[in-house]
A = this chain, B = another copy of it.
Amino acid sequence: MKNQPLKIVIVGGVAGGATAAARARRVNANAEIILLEKGPTVSFANCGLPYHLGGEISDRGQLLVATRELFQNRFRVQVHTGYTVDTIDRAAQTVSGHTLEGATFSIAYDKLILSTGSEPLRPDFCNVEANNVFNLWTLDDMDRILSCVKTPECRSATVIGAGFVGLEVVEQLARRNVSVTLVERLPQVLGPLDAEMAKMVELELVRHNIRVFLNASVSKLHTTDGKVSTVQLANGESIATDLVIVGAGVRPRIELAQAAGLTIGQSGGVAINEFCQTSDANIYAVGDMVEYFHGVLDKPIRVPLAGPANRAGRIAGSHAARPSSSGRMSPVQGTSIVRVFDLTAGITGLNERACNLNAIACRTAIIQAPHHASYFPGAKNLTLKLIYSPESRRVLGAQAVGAEGVDKRLDVVATLLHFKGTIDDLAGLDLAYAPPFGSAKDPVHNAAFVAQNDLDHYPRLVASNANLEGQQIVDVRNKAEIEKLPLPDAIHIPVDEIASRWEELDPAKPTVVVCHSAKRAHVAASWLQGKGFQTVYNLSGGMSIRKLTE
C-alpha cells in the first residue's frame, strides 16, 4: 500500500459526478475521494422535477436520491456542498475556488473528475424584471414554480419550447388545471422527431386543450406590476399569461475546463476518450458538459441526458480509481423518450432530417401496428418509423409514437443500433411473444419487412408526403374509408378486386397504390408489379400518415 492514498476530486454531483464518486470507492477502498458541489445537495433526480410540479410525484423528498449521509457513511466520500471551483491548476494538480460563505479553498488531486453539467439557455426576451418567469433546472427552480402555480391567481401558463422537458412541463401543468399555451420556434413540437411523427404528439396536446403555437418566436415579455402578463410573438399575436416557463435548450458548462486548456470538441462539449479522460489524462469529464461518440453519426455529439451521464460516471470513476479497469464508454445513439398525456413518443439513432443534413443516404418505412396481439383485449396502435441505409441496409434510426409499448420498441432498435444491425437483422429478431405482450410479428418486425420490401423492390415505397400529380393513383381502400378521408384523382379498386380488375389500369403509367396504412396497398402494388406494370410504388404509411403531412 502506498503511503499517500490516491486522491480523487470530483467537481459536481449531478450529471454523473455522484455516480463516479460511488463507483470510485467500490473499486478502490483506499483512495481519498472528495466531492465538491456548488449547489446545496449532492445530487437530485432532475428528470423527476416536472413530475413533482404536477403532483404526480407527490413527495418532494423522493427526488433527493443521493444524500450526503449515504455518500459520507457508505462510500466514505467527503462531501462539500456550496463549494464552487473557479480554477484548475493542471501543473500543480490543484483545484481552487470559493465557498458559499465566501471562504476560499485549494485542494490537490491525483485524478480529477469534472461533472459541471449544463445550464438552461436564457434567450434575450428573458431579460425582464419579473417574478413569474422560470427555467426548470434545479430543485430551487421547481420550488419557485410550484409556489407560483399554487397561488389562486395562477390560472394560465405559457411554456416556451416544445422539447422533451417542455412537453413534460406542459403535461404536468395541465394536471394542475392550469390552462397551458405552448410556444415553439420550429414548425413542429419535439424537434428531434420527424415532422409527421411529431404531428401525432401535437394532436395529442390539442386533444388535451393545450394551445399550441408553432413557427412562433417570442419577441417580448410584457410586464405588469413586476409580473409578465403577456407573451408577445413576432407575428404580432399576444398571449395573456400568469406564468412563463422557458425551455429553450441547454448549453454545456465548460468554462472551467476551457480555462484549464482542456480540448473542447467540435460539438461544443469537452472532448473525452472511451475512458472519459479529457486531453489531460489525469482529468476526466462526464455528463452534459462533454461530447459522446455517436454510433450512427460516427462523430461526437452532445447528449445532455441522464443515461449516458450515469454510464460515463461509472466508467470515469472506475478508471480514475483503478487505471487497470477495463470499462469503456460505448457509443451513444441519442435515445430519448417522453410521455405526453396518453401518448409516448421517442427516438433512437438518426431521424430523416439528420440523415439529410449529414448527407447520409437513407430511406424510411413507417408502419402502424397494435402493440400486442390484435385479438387480445386492449391492443393499441403504435406508429413506428424506421430509417435505413439503401446501400448497407443498416438501420440508422427509429421513432415511435403510441399509447403503449413505445419504450420497448425503441430499446430493441437502440440495442440493434449498438451492433450496427441491418433491417434483415431486425426482421429476424427472436422476441418474446405471448398475446398480452406482442405479436408473432412484432411491430419492429413489420417495419423491417416493409423496409425489406422497399429495398428489394417488392415494390418500392414512395414518401408519404410525395407529390402524386401525374401518377396513376390506385386507391384500394373501401368506400367508407374513402368517404372519410378522400384522395382526389385516384382510381378506386378495393384491394380484394385488384386481381380481377387490374386490367382496367394502364401498366405503362407510373403507378402509386394507396390504402389506409400501406398494408393492403402492398398486396395490390406487388400484384400490379408482378403483372408487368412498369413502375409501381406503395405510398409509405398510407393515408393515415399522409394526412399528418399536409
Residues of A near any B CB (own CB < 8 A): 1, 25-30, 45, 47-48, 51, 56-58, 62-63, 65, 73-76, 164, 168, 295, 305-311, 314, 325-339, 344, 346, 348, 373-377, 407-408, 410-412, 414-419, 421, 424-425, 427-438, 440-441, 445, 449, 452, 456, 458, 495-496, 499, 520, 522-523, 526-532
Chain B, residue nearest A524 (CB): B74
CB distance A437 to B339 under 8 Å? yes
With A335-B431, A335-B432, A530-B30 as given contacts, are A407 and B438 in contact (CB-CB < 8 Å)?
A: yes
Complex interface: chain B residues within 8 A of A63 (CB): 375
Smallest distance from the beta carbon of A276 to chain B beta carbons, Å? Answer: 12
> A445's closest neighbor in chain B, by CB?
B311
Question: A202: shortest Cβ distance to chain B, in Å?
Answer: 19
Partner of A348, one of B48, B432, B531: B432
- Of B311, B411, B432, the contact of A336 (CB 8 Å cutoff): B432
Which B residues lie within 8 Å of A416 (CB)? 415, 418-419
Contact A29 B526 (CB under 8 A): yes
User: 8 new A-B pairs (CB below 8 Å) besides A29-B526, A330-B428?
Assistant: A47-B434, A48-B373, A74-B496, A309-B440, A346-B432, A410-B431, A414-B430, A419-B419
Closest to A311 in B: B428
For A327, give its contact among B164, B412, B452 (CB under 8 Å).
B452
A331–B377 CA distance with the chains assembled, in angstroms: 31
Q: Which residues of B contact A434 (CB under 8 A)?
A: 47, 164, 168, 336-339
Q: Are A56's CB and B377's CB within 8 A?
A: yes
A430 partner, pick from B30, B348, B452, beta carbons under 8 A: B348
Q: Give the 7 A-B residue pairs with the shortest CB-CB distance, closest first.
A: A29-B530, A330-B428, A419-B419, A337-B432, A306-B440, A62-B375, A73-B496
| Residues in B whose Cβ lies below 8 Å from that of A495 | 74
Contact indicator B373/A26 (Cβ below 8 Å): no
- Point out which of A307, A308, A310 has the most chain B C-beta atoms below 10 A from its C-beta: A307
Which chain B residues border A348 with CB–CB below 8 Å?
Answer: 430, 432
In the assembly, what is the distance between CA of A58 and CA of B414, in Å? Answer: 36
Residue pair B57, A433 in contact (C-beta under 8 Å): no
A308 touches B410 (CB 8 A): no
Task: Give the CA-CA distance A334 to B295 in the complex, in Å.
Answer: 29
18 intermolecular pairs with C-beta atoms under 8 Å apart: A26-B522, A45-B435, A51-B435, A65-B375, A74-B495, A75-B523, A306-B433, A307-B441, A310-B441, A326-B424, A330-B425, A335-B430, A336-B433, A339-B437, A411-B412, A415-B415, A418-B430, A419-B421
Cross-chain contact A305 with B433 (CB below 8 angstroms): yes
A418 and B429 within 8 A (CB): yes
- Select from chain B the residue with minimum beta-carbon distance to A436: B339
